[in-house]
Amino acid sequence: MNAQQSELDPHRVLVIDDHPLFRKGVVDLLSMDSSFQLVGEAANGEEGLELAQQLKPGLVLLDLNMRGVDGVETLRRLRAMEGSQPKVLILTVSNAEEDIVRALRAGADGYLLKDMEPEEILSYLRSALSGGVAIGPELTGILARALREETATVEPDRVSLTPREKQILALLAEGQSNKLIARELDIAVGTVKVHVKNLMKKLGLRNRVEVALWASKLR
């Protein structure tokens, strides 16, 4: 499907996981929502990277602990691919702080646990695709603690933000997507994206997930 894909078309999903039973579960999960279309399954990172290049999915669900090329390395290679970048969500059993931080540092758009309720997972998938934060609620405390320990993180009283940036930061802390923020502030989605990038630069953070968590500490 090309870059002119209609917003009404289903989101193309690729699953990379070395457990056949879990992949079957994802197939069943996606069948619950017509806005998603499973376009491929891969049992390892190498196969997943090949399929990602061939199929050009809009969303990749990626396991973390796989034999051979693990999830984080697969993620790094996905991010190095030329062309449009898919959203990549880690879907795993690990809630270890080290794994969560490594995945986000490598460019993950979210981190979910496999034992979440199916409807909850679908909700986070939709949120990620619209620019929202896809982090399971049980993981936000772990991430916030890790973020506090980052020496590169800027202290709140040392950051100079514009009024608009402060508005967007507050809405990011609520987990709102770019589309919802744009609607709330009556500005273009592209403008929201520019502000988010500026916030990341000012705060010394690497993705919108970290920005949202940083903002949540101020609430």
Per-residue pLDDT tens listing for the chain (219 residues): 444 445 568 999 999 999 999 999 998 999 889 999 999 999 999 999 999 999 999 999 999 999 889 999 999 999 888 877 899 999 999 988 889 888 888 888 889 999 999 999 999 999 888 877 788 777 877 776 666 565 445 555 567 889 999 899 888 877 788 888 999 999 998 999 899 989 888 887 777 777 877 776 655
Q: In what order do the strands lie in the sheet with 110-113?
A: 36-42, 11-16, 59-62, 87-92, 110-113, 134-135
Which pLDDT belongs to residue 218?
58
Q: What is the pLDDT of residue 155?
A: 57
pLDDT at 3: 43
CA dist., res. 203 & res. 158, Å (int): 9
Domain ranges of the chain: 11-144, 151-216
156-195: b or e for each residue (b if 16 or more CB lie within 10 Å)? eeeeebeeebebbbbbbbebbbbebbbeeeebeeeebeeb
Q: Which bin fits 57, alpha (ψ -120 to 50), beta or left (φ > 0)?
A: beta
Q: Considering only the top CATH level, what class is 151-216?
A: mainly alpha
User: Which pLDDT value is given to residue 208?
Assistant: 76
The predicted pLDDT at position 8 comes to 65
What pLDDT is stored for residue 188 in this prediction? 93
User: Which CATH architecture best describes the domain 11-144?
Assistant: 3-Layer(aba) Sandwich (3.40)
**pLDDT at residue 25, rounded to an integer:** 92
pLDDT of residue 4: 43
* pLDDT for the residue 1: 41
pTM attached to this predicted model:
0.74
